Amino acid sequence: MKNYYSKYNTEYPWLIKEEGWVKLLQGVRESQLALGNGFLGSRAVLEEIPYEATPGTYIAGVYDRIGSHVAELVNLPNPFNFKIGVDGERLGVITMDVVEHRRILNLRHGLLCRHTIYQDSKKKKYDYQSIRFVSMHDKNIGVMQIIFTPLDDGVEVSIETGIDTSVYNVRTVTEGRKRHFRIKEVGQFKNEGYLIVETFGKLHRAIFRSGFYYETRGKKTEAKDNIFELKLRKNQTVKFTKIFCVEAASEKEDLGSTKRSSEKKFRKAFNASFDCLLRRHIRAWEGLWNVAEVSIWGDPEVEKNFRFNIYHMLACGPKDNGASSIAARALTGEGYRGHIFWDTEIFLFPFYLYTLPDIARNMLMYRYRRLEAARARAKKNRFKGAMFPWESADSGEDETPGWAKDLDGKVIRIHTGKMEHHITANIAYAFYHYYNATQDEKFFRDYGYEILFETARFWASRVEYNKRKKKYEIKQVIGPDEFHVDVNNNAFTNMMAKWNLLTAYNMSKKLRKSNTAGYKKLVQKIGLSAREVAEWKNIAARISVNKRRGQIIEQFDGYFKKRKVKIADWDENFVPVVSEKLTPRDYGKTQLVKQADVIMLLYLLSDVFSLKTKRENYAYYVDRTIHKSSLSLPVYARMAIDVGDKNRGYRFFHTALRTDISNINNNTNEGIHAACMGGSWQVLINGFAGVKIEKGILSVNPKMPRIWRKIIFSLHWGGTLLRLEVKNNKIKIQLVSPGRKKVKIKVFGILHSLAGDKPFEFERKKPVKEREAYYL
Amino acid sequence: MKNYYSKYNTEYPWLIKEEGWVKLLQGVRESQLALGNGFLGSRAVLEEIPYEATPGTYIAGVYDRIGSHVAELVNLPNPFNFKIGVDGERLGVITMDVVEHRRILNLRHGLLCRHTIYQDSKKKKYDYQSIRFVSMHDKNIGVMQIIFTPLDDGVEVSIETGIDTSVYNVRTVTEGRKRHFRIKEVGQFKNEGYLIVETFGKLHRAIFRSGFYYETRGKKTEAKDNIFELKLRKNQTVKFTKIFCVEAASEKEDLGSTKRSSEKKFRKAFNASFDCLLRRHIRAWEGLWNVAEVSIWGDPEVEKNFRFNIYHMLACGPKDNGASSIAARALTGEGYRGHIFWDTEIFLFPFYLYTLPDIARNMLMYRYRRLEAARARAKKNRFKGAMFPWESADSGEDETPGWAKDLDGKVIRIHTGKMEHHITANIAYAFYHYYNATQDEKFFRDYGYEILFETARFWASRVEYNKRKKKYEIKQVIGPDEFHVDVNNNAFTNMMAKWNLLTAYNMSKKLRKSNTAGYKKLVQKIGLSAREVAEWKNIAARISVNKRRGQIIEQFDGYFKKRKVKIADWDENFVPVVSEKLTPRDYGKTQLVKQADVIMLLYLLSDVFSLKTKRENYAYYVDRTIHKSSLSLPVYARMAIDVGDKNRGYRFFHTALRTDISNINNNTNEGIHAACMGGSWQVLINGFAGVKIEKGILSVNPKMPRIWRKIIFSLHWGGTLLRLEVKNNKIKIQLVSPGRKKVKIKVFGILHSLAGDKPFEFERKKPVKEREAYYL
């Protein structure tokens, strides 16, 4: 049988393959091979929707709270639904024997292709091929084509391909399976079927339109109905093409006009040829890869897995100017209910900032647009300024559930929503990071300063003065390490608060100086007094952390007195295995750390701490951290590289990199771990390639693994796109679109000013010896 | 907590109880406690629709074929859907802890009541009570009431109670799970939600309307929406009342006018009070039980189980003048895809004939209305007359699937559709039976003679003349025993064909004599020649069966030569257990019989065969029959009673009686076994109570089990309702509505003519000694 879609899948280093049908991996594959374009996400459920499949169709920012504990990303009707019956048997991996089955996700072009050969109960075979995509060119459009051939006999075929409304948000222990929308309108309009659904809370509407046609023996037929029958002879091939349009309208938008615009969009796409729609989609993906591509010469396996991660980050980058941001599992599953955490600003943001700064700006806008809600939250908690929620959805209110399943499946109360306050500083950090990398003064004037000031204000009201110690303290918090609940003076939180206050202070001085009118306007708008600003500096100066032996930072007051648990066992990824005698509820009594916490601090404020401090803290905490969050390994990997723990650094990186492609945490079925992907990108770029910001200056000083020959990648810096080719001892840099300004960059420790579009080459003075480089 | 619905459940002998929540029994309970009114059937799924529940909402006669092997009863949207969330947790047996759970099906009044106490993850308790019914007074109306109270704390409650469209027809091996309808219209109209769905094949539409209101602290609120939230204080009770209307429209009916009529019906019901709707419903059920009730004094357990069976037969009796008939699993599940077999005419029909003759007439009309399809089928198979399909749905075409799961789960081809021809004679038999019991000349003139003649015609064309033997033979058939496929001269088929020919011949003579004009008209209509009629008698005289030792009837040509398998093991119900070495595919090579076949013949043509023949054949075949159909035991039970195998007779009866209440075949989850219920009724009435038709005369001669003191029941006979009180030696008979005609009846072997409404008492001349009576 001819392989119709093989022409789209010729570049091996860009293909993720599913070989054979394994029921147990169904949910994992649905996440891994998911499609998306930042607006629409679609899990890679097989078109026949097998029993126990978990279809997932999500629109960024469409949440609903009714009937569930907190707002959650709504699982919407699924347009990739195509059921074929042959003489009364259903084509499908459960209902028929699967002779052959393969799916290929083309990372470069965002295409999902499939080839399955079925055998029915009468031993007759059928060839089934499909291709589908969610258009990167036009966010509302999705396309699916199916090519079907009965191989052994003529057959009566029945087709059913409506937009499947029989979908649910996944089952949770206390809420069961639930649907978050109701059908508001259905109908047929010309050769198109349409469907309007509304979330239960009535905040969101989604409009689906779809139409399809089929071709056989050169004849094209537009189907009037999405359910019909046709007869095929042996070896007669039929090709079905389904095109759909999905549009969202919030409660504030006029449904009528959105209906009209979606009709227009649908018509335009439906009247275009499949090839044309595909071409545009591919072109859009090529545009993204032009800046986002990372080539790792010498390690095709790592390169492919790395691109898999980049693919997923490209597929979820929001383009809606702040209506949505990236959820913990992006748009590929319902883990964490589609909520947005600090993961987004700290782990994912840098990837976008350096490759697609427009998307990075949208992510910041998501927070800025919810500043009012953050102010309200601060007020409600009797604080000042803006207090961002630990888990955020559409409204900007805190959506942290009051309970959840613990690591061992037991349902427990969770306190993060009330106590995990560091996110407010993390958001300020991302804003400042953006400013630093882009020098986008306008954005900062419009949004950034306000965020910096309001978050500093929050911390100024959040701290408590300890007269005896003459220190400002932050009590009753949870740090990144969530094993230790309700602690005082968590080092990470304290230092991030201090950083927030200090940065706000410095930036306020800068603004007042450079743009006095703008400063006055803002100060007036938010009612900020000079006394308050002065106080920020004062408070910041009196926030500190406990240290032992001069260097080891105590994670929080009393941490050192907790019981030390000896780790005696590590798994194949160098991740500690804790004795089962200890239940997760006991962890808080010990020095066991869930994820990088002090190390996270050293990672984010890398400039502030000496290599010695990093080395000693790393050595201390690596023996206590059990990496029960996918955020932990990338941080440790990067720190291991910095402090020279080469072997472990590479292993940590490698495990983090494969979190989803190898389903390491055994929960990829709930969606990919977006933050870990962003974290892995940072390990490679900031760690191995050694790209760092040192006191505001871009610096490159690679420490690549021995077997890697070079890494090629692009970065946006200060409005210019740089193309870098990095070896341990040699670096090429080209300014892709040089502006008038010179670009300052430190290479191998020496500062250079680059201009023009000719490539610059740099060599290390004292070449790194091979044994110094990273190896396995 | 007050038990709000206990007042409806005071009569113990009428209550079927589910105590506690057992996940494994979920599907079984859904079938057992199902509600119905002959038009609408609803499985007793819990209102919260737990995970892996199998909601089932069926309208009699609504089938669809698209996407499945053959037409199947459509699982329609479920109006008994009520989801309650409390502070984000979902009320339900899976999502919460179940402190207490009980459901009661009130057989007398067709009510399903429930009382569950839940505990959430925070250890707070909630009291949940519900009542629901499908109105027997107005077939389109269903009502549900829910009373909810938070016991430990105030709570924010979210309600979701749309008409649930996320339903599927059950999964089959080769077809998967499938939906057979699409949503055609949805909307909100005043305080009502409505939904119109259409089957994929477009032959049927169903219109759902529903509205609800709630009452708390004496205040009634009409909900504008089926999704909303409200706040309750601790111990504050809220009562929700949901009323819905379901109407069907076939493709031929005008949807617009059905919409209007359904709106009217819904309004009327919605404006009536709950008590009023309930009262009317109860009154309708009382009316049915007035004739259908059977009291068994001395054995309350058997009495209750027997009433459970009658309940299910009352709940599915069709009232649509032949649009539908009763499926193998009635309207309680999707076993056998809702198809109609010979079960209906042979096993179920007598119950209705003697208690609700109008329903019996509807069942015959179902066949008459498909006479044209049966004629077409005969023609297609190159036969004459009418050939009824082995499995029938809406169109009257044969819907037997070409393959199915065997007893051991293996998928095999099935041939019954092509070869199981006896059904045509069985249908003729039911028509004649109706005539005999009702003397309804008009019905017979309009429909009955035509059926008798056309079926006789079929047999006249179906037989083959064997010149050597000078016999007519029927080759290549399957008898009731489906282990033996493609056999010649199956005794049951031969003799039923012979009976069909002879009865048609005799009735044609009778009609010609009594109503020459009518006869001529019919003969002309169907083009029947006098030669053909004469030939029926001639053929009938030359159809015979093989016998051995004078009495043992050979099931088919060559049966005696098959391998005898010794049965060495019986289960607790006296049912043979076959060695596992023998696979179901081997049974055909042996003398093992699936279900009563020769015994079925002796049962149906009881008049024709001597007691000696019955006794010897029973003794022979009972050792070979393994009862792999629920139709078998009732036939054997009745025969055992007739031939005096008392102990086994009672045991067979008892097992057959409990088929569904005890889930004996382990597939009650697919629906109740309607035919077995009808068969059990026949064992009790025709066997134990000894009511028989002997050469057209009603005769009573009981053979009751020793521990039964008496049986009280009613029967329609010749247009008169008789009330009988039967003991082994004493019988009371009263004509409930005596007409002018005297009723001839044989009691204890002596013929009497009864008139007037005074009770008659009869005593047996030679009392049966206690040891002669039945015992365990």
Distances in whole angstroms, Cα of residue B251 to Cα of each of B248, B360, B373 = 10, 26, 18
pLDDT confidence bin for A770, thresholds 50/70/90: low
Distance from CA of B271 to the nearest CA of A (A): 26
Q: Which of A40-54, A171-185, B705-719 has the lowest mean pLDDT?
A: A171-185
Q: Three-class SS of residue B57?
A: strand
- Put simply, the answer to whether A90 touches B411 (Cβ < 8 Å) is no
Beta strands in A398-523 (DSSP E): 403-405, 411-413, 464-466, 471-473
- Put simply, the answer to whether A175 touches B90 (Cβ < 8 Å) is yes
- Put simply, the answer to whether B51 touches A185 (Cβ < 8 Å) is no
Distances in whole angstroms, Cα of residue B535 to Cα of each of A233, B193, B523, B526, B608 = 46, 62, 15, 16, 22
- Put simply, the answer to whether A122 touches B166 (Cβ < 8 Å) is no
Q: Cα–Cα distance between A655 and A630 in angstroms, integer?
A: 10
Active site residue A482: yes
The sign of the CA dihedral B448, B453, B456, B457 is negative
Q: Can you tell me the mean pLDDT for A521-549? A: 95
For chain B positions 176-235, those within 8 Å of chain A (CB to CB) are: 176-179, 182-186, 200, 226-227, 229
Q: Can you tell me the mean pLDDT for A754-761? A: 92
| pLDDT for position B776 | 46
Q: Please list every residue in chain B whose beta carbon sits closer than 8 Å to the beta carbon of residue A66.
A: 85, 158, 160, 227, 229
- Put simply, the answer to whether B175 touches A95 (Cβ < 8 Å) is yes
Q: Which of B45, B97, B121 to mutate to test the interface with A (most CBs of A within 10 A)?
A: B121
Q: Average pLDDT, whole number, for chain A?
A: 94
pLDDT value at A776 more than 50: no
- Put simply, the answer to whether B51 touches A186 (Cβ < 8 Å) is no
| Interval A56-76: pLDDT, tens | 999 999 999 998 889 999 999
> Any chain A CB within 8 A of the CB of B162?
yes
Provide DSSP, B268-315.
Answer: HHHHS-HHHHHHHHHHHHHHHHHHH--EEET-HHHHHHHHHHHHHHHH
Q: Please list every residue in chain B whose beta carbon sits closer than 8 Å to the beta carbon of residue A69.
A: 87-89
Distances in whole angstroms, Cα of residue B57 to Cα of each of A158, B142, B168, B322 = 24, 12, 10, 20
Nearest CA in chain B to A168: B166
Q: Please list every residue in chain A whose beta carbon sits closer than 8 Å to the beta carbon of residue B70.
A: 88
Distances in whole angstroms, Cα of residue A358 to Cα of each of A81, A374, A441, A672, B43 = 33, 24, 14, 23, 55
Provide DSSP, B596-649.
Answer: -SHHHHHHHTTTTS-HHHHHHHHHHHHTTB---STTHHHHHHHHHHHHT-HHHH
Length of chain B equals: 776
Distance from CA of A71 to the nearest CA of B (A): 10
Q: Please list every residue in chain A whose beta carbon sits closer than 8 Å to the beta carbon of residue B198.
A: none
Nearest CA in chain B to A158: B67
Under 8 Å between Cβ of A103 and A114: yes
Q: Is the reported ipTM for this assembly greater than 0.85?
A: no
For chain B positions 378-417, those within 8 Å of chain A (CB to CB) are: 401-403, 411
> Any chain A CB within 8 A of the CB of B175?
yes
The sign of the CA dihedral A740, A741, A747, A751 is positive
Q: Can you tell me the mean pLDDT for A432-459? A: 97
Nearest CA in chain B to A186: B185
Q: Three-class SS of residue B136?
A: coil
Q: Which of B87, B90, B157, B188 to mutate to test the interface with A (most CBs of A within 10 A)?
A: B90
The distance of Cα B471 from the centroid of its chain, to the nearest Å, equals 38
Distance from CA of B224 to the nearest CA of A (A): 13
Q: Please list every residue in chain B whose beta carbon sits closer than 8 Å to the beta carbon of residue A167.
A: 166
| Interval A183-218: pLDDT, tens | 999 988 777 899 999 999 989 999 999 999 999 999
Task: Name every residue whose Cβ is closer than 8 Å to that of residue A734 and which is 6 or more positions away in sequence.
Answer: A722, A723, A757, A758, A759, A760
| pLDDT for position B434 | 97
Provide DSSP, A81-94.
Answer: --EEEETTEEPSTT
Residues of chain B with pLDDT below 50 are: 776
| Interval A586-641: pLDDT, tens | 999 999 999 999 999 999 999 899 999 999 999 999 999 999 999 999 999 999 99
Q: Can you tell me the mean pLDDT for A412-425? A: 92
- Put simply, the answer to whether B83 touches A67 (Cβ < 8 Å) is yes
* Cβ pairs bridging A and B (under 8 Å): 127
